[in-house]
Amino acid sequence: MEKETMKMHGAFSWNELNTHNINAAKAFYGEFLGWTIDDMKDSQMEYSIAKTGDAEVAGMMTPPDVDKNMPPFWLAYVTVDDVDKRAKRAESLGGKIHVPPMDIPDVGRFSVIADPEGAMLGIITYLTKD
């Protein structure tokens, strides 16, 4: 049931911590919330998945090429039917595209936009399994 809701257009589906000290964040949130943290490494970045029991509940990463003066932040993601179309739509409504649509291997496609007031939001379209 959770996975189905995650993939519904318009539903908040993921949260991701962007931090300069991922080890400190893993220690804090592991102790604070009782999360177990699984590290995933690919060729481009270090990424960790936080779990409650067997359920994946959040991601943690040190973002590449980010201003070192930017404070750590949580970014919420909303599932959309078509990332490319929705990013363009956000822009046409006065928003801004901060991270253009791109693929996440074996997951889907995402983008990061800001509304006209500057509030950041991740949008994602998950791969469907046929």
Question: How far apart are alpha carbons 57 and 40 in whole angstroms?
Answer: 15
Indicate if 80-130 has the same CATH topology as 17-76: yes
Question: How far apart are alpha carbons 47 and 18 in whole angstroms?
Answer: 10
Instruction: Walk along the chain (130 residues) and give the pLDDT tens digit of each residue.
Output: 455 777 899 999 999 999 989 999 999 999 999 999 999 876 577 899 999 999 999 999 987 766 677 789 999 999 999 999 999 999 999 999 999 999 998 899 999 999 999 999 999 999 987 5
The domain defined by 80-130 carries CATH number 3.40.50.1010 = no
pLDDT at 69: 75
The superfamily in CATH containing domain 17-76 is 2,3-Dihydroxybiphenyl 1,2-Dioxygenase, domain 1 (3.10.180.10)
Question: How far apart are alpha carbons 51 and 39 in whole angstroms?
Answer: 11
Domain segments of the chain: what residues? 17-76, 80-130
Could you write out the three-class secondary structure of 20-68?
A: CCHHHHHHHHHHHHCCEEEEEECCCCEEEEEEECCEEEEEEECCCCCCC
pTM: 0.86
